[in-house]
Structure 1
């Protein structure tokens, strides 16, 4: 390992702003969903991922990758959401060893009820504070970071 490339003041400013802003943004979006719909941001994200598939179901291992979660943490979360009736786990019809998470009608209804709250929060706390050009730069920059992290296997 070579010499450490310490962050310059502008680099440190970018890093700190990113870290604190994303933490506070996620906390705010979570609070708004929890207060209005009694659902956490992380549970809402599971519902969104399941709803985005053609048949409202996905292998647990694929869902963990989509969410940037560990299989263990996701399994615990899905178990809790299953007890609440939002999702169900079923054997994967294509691989008997696999498990599929499936969106229930109750989960779909919760998603439909909560989506406007979430979108308004994203808009009012992030999107509306960025110009169209800044939105494009942000999308490009973080797509590149995501591609890199995917390539190196996180």
Structure 2
């Protein structure tokens, strides 16, 4: 073997390849991630004229004290970037469901979002259909044990992904 071939083989042996069962489960997760969000999004668009991200924004605001959150915190809760959130807030403002407000914070100006009474009424109108779709696609097809395990797994995966994103952000100096 040449040095190049030896190095190439050693590199391939260092790869933590997935077993057959792990590949099957990984592909199942990828399929879930590719099919569930668009299905939930389609229901919300069809029934309420909002997308899944906008619904998450409305829901997060509805649960916040005084139905108000800073945009950075809201972006984190809705699992989106500040840019994506800004576009969503603009759409929700046009409907009268959210207001963007400025406030002073430690010598600077920041923005926060407020869920309006009209927005709360809209959320209360669309939440039942969203809950029915969540039940149809996830809750009712799993046993309580499966649902609990899925929740535990989802939280662990999310934590690992967020930790990796935070570290990448720190290394790039973007946060």
| Same fold? TM cut 0.5 | yes
| Runs of 4+ in structure 1 over 4 Å off | 93-96
- Equivalent residue, structure 1, for 2:6: none
CA contact (8 A) 1:86 1:103 kept: yes
Contact 1:60 1:71 in 2 (8 A): yes
User: Does the 8 A contact of 1:85 with 1:106 survive in 2?
Assistant: yes
Deviations 1:90-139 (A, max 9, x none): 01354541100110122111100110000000001111111111111111
The residue aligned with 1:58 is 69
Unpaired segments ≥5 residues, structure 2: 1-10, 168-175
CA distances 1:41-83 after superposition (whole Å, capped 9, x unpaired): 1111110010011210100011111122111121111112112
- The structure with higher relative contact order (CA 8 Å, sep 6+) is 1
Q: 2:47 pairs with 26, 36, 41, which one?
A: 36
TM-score, normalised via structure 2 length: 0.80
Answer 1 or 2: which has greater helix percent.
2
Which consecutive unaligned segments of at least 5 residues does structure 1 have? none
1:20 maps to: 31
Match for residue 105 of structure 1? Answer: 117
The 1-side partners of 2:42 and 2:113 are apart by 25
How many residue pairs get matched? 153
- With 143-152 and 35-44 compared, the bigger mean Cα shift is at 143-152
Root-mean-square deviation (CA, aligned residues, Å) is 1.7
